[in-house]
Structure 1
Amino acid sequence: MPFPLSAAASLFKPGQSGTIERFTNEGLACKLLDIGVRPGSRLRVVRKSPFGGSWYVKIDRQCLALRKKELACIMVK
C-alpha cells in the first residue's frame, strides 16, 4: 500500500521526519510562521508528553514544543 503524499504531523511517531508542505488552519498558520515554522523546512518529531498534551519537535535547527492542535494543522510529505 503506497504512502499518502502528505499527512498531518500529529500522526508521526517519535523519530519520524518529513518536509513541511502546507498548513490547514489559517489562524494557526500565522502563529507558526511567526515562530519560524515555514513550508519547506524539515520537521522531526523528537518525543511527545505522556498524556499527549504537547510534542517536542525539531524544525531545521530549532527545537520547539507544540500542542497537538498546532501539529495537526502541519501537513508533511
Structure 2
Amino acid sequence: MPFPRSTAASHFVAGMSGTIERFTNENLACKLLDIGVRPGSRLRLVRKGPFGGSWYVKIDQQCLALRKQELACILIK
C-alpha cells in the first residue's frame, strides 16, 4: 500500500512498500548508498527487529536490517 506523497520510511508499518525518492540526511545517505540503497529502488518493510531498534527491509532483491534513524532519512513515494 504506497503513500500518495513522500513520507519517511520510519512511518511505515510491516507489509507497506514504496519507491525510494530521496534521502534527507547527507551522512546517512552516503552509508545507505554504499550498501546498495538507491533512489528509485523498491522498499518493503518486512518486520520489526527484536527489541524494536531496527527493521528488516527488502530493497529490490536485497534483504537488509536498518536502524530507525536510517529509515527516518529515507523518503518514500
Normalising by structure 1, what TM-score?
A: 0.92
Structure 2: state its 5+ residue gaps.
none
1:1-77 aligned at under 5 Å gives the runs: 5-77=5-77
Q: How many residues align?
A: 75
> Structure 1, residues 35-72: CA drift from partner, whole Å, max 9, x if none?
00000000000001243201000000000000000010
Percent sequence identity over aligned pairs: 83
Q: Which amino acid aligns with 1:21?
A: E
Q: Which amino acid aligns with 1:66?
A: L
Structure 1: state its 5+ residue gaps.
none
> Structure 1, residues 2-22: CA drift from partner, whole Å, max 9, x if none?
x55100001000000000000
Normalising by structure 2, what TM-score?
A: 0.92
Cα-Cα RMSD: 1.1
Name the SS of the counterpart of 2:36 in structure 1. Answer: coil
Spell out structure 1 runs of 4+ moving beyond 4 A: none
- Structure with the greater alpha carbon radius of gyration: 1
